Amino acid sequence: QNHIFPYQKYSESVTTTTEEERLDNLQWLLLRVRIIIEDAEERHVTNQDMLHQLNILRKEMYRGYYTLDTFRFRAHDVKKEKDHGVSYSFILSKFNHAKRVCFRSDSDERVKELKVVVSLETIIGDANEFIKLSSTYPCLSRQPHSMYLLLDKCMFGRQMEMECVINFLLHGEITYGADHLGVLPIIGPGKVGKSTLVEHACIDERVRSHFSQIVFFSKDGLTHGNIVTLKDCGTTKHQTDDALGGSKRRLVVVELDGEIDQGLWERFYSASKSCFAYGSKIIITSRSDKIASFGTTQPHKLVPDS
């Protein structure tokens, strides 16, 4: 019921504001929520509830940008119709079935727009405590500027997928016991960006702060001979000074082209559970859908960008 009043208030204001004014309002709300998110992302936030709230803020921001794009396309279409001399009385004619369908569709879009704007206004209004708490966490050390030029997440174009991977890495799976070792399968055709997605997640400061060691394995590196101890059979991409201690969390990335023998995987997983501390994680990437059965969570399936 708390959302009824702002929804009605905004709904009434829509009738008295122009398309351009509503577009400006949405852009202003998105700018505010983006500033909140970017400030939190630059800090070493460890509180799980705050990380969960940060994910909610991101989802609402993505919804907002989607709505903004829809808004712009609609404004562009209206301008084209005006330029071609289309009569609005004809467009909205109650005697024209096709036009009534378009009008209802447009009305549905307005309702969605209302909900997105009200949701953004609500989360911004409720974010004061989040902003205060996040400001108490230390800032992350910055990567070299060249790294951002090569792998900046805004340029990368898979923000949602990357945040899903990072969310898996930083959060525990509460339905399992203390001896659980989480596995995330990432599946997709060749050249779709599986390795790039994983590499990008692994250079994120939140991930590097969470894991004391990040090791990559290829299929050639997984043999029955070296899998028992997991020593000298992978490529270390990140390691802290105290990473060799037995109680440190590790992230293992297994990159495959196709399938892997079931028995070999089971031995690898068993050896990993016995060697790694609680909170360690495994990511396995492949073109084959069969690796989905190795996961302890739903697999991520990447498709080529259209």
* 123-132 pLDDT, tens digit each: 888 899 999 9
List Cβ neighbours of 32 (8 Å cut-off, separation of 6 or more).
Answer: 124
Whole-angstrom distance, CA of residue 188 vs CA of residue 36: 33
Whole-angstrom distance, CA of residue 272 vs CA of residue 62: 36
Going by C-alpha positions, the residue among 136, 99, 133, 115 that lies closest to residue 66 is 115
195 is written with which tokens? 């390795």
Supply the DSSP string of 219-287, one letter for each residue.
Answer: GGG--TTTTTT--SSSEEEEE-TTTTSTTS-EEEEEE-SS---HHHHHHHHHHHHHHSPTT-EEEEEES
* 239-273 pLDDT, tens digit each: 886 655 556 889 999 999 888 888 888 988 988 88
Structural domain spans, the chain: 4-134, 145-301
Looking at residue 95, its pLDDT comes to 45
Whole-angstrom distance, CA of residue 159 vs CA of residue 252: 22
Confirm if 169 and 210 have CB atoms less than 8 A apart: yes
Pairing of strands 213-218, 235-239: antiparallel
Asked whether residue 1 carries a pLDDT value surpassing 50, the answer given is no
Looking at residue 246, its pLDDT comes to 52
Whole-angstrom distance, CA of residue 63 vs CA of residue 200: 23
Fold exhibited by the domain 145-301: Rossmann fold (3.40.50)
120 is written with which tokens? 């953004």
pLDDT class of 228 with cuts at 50, 70, 90: low
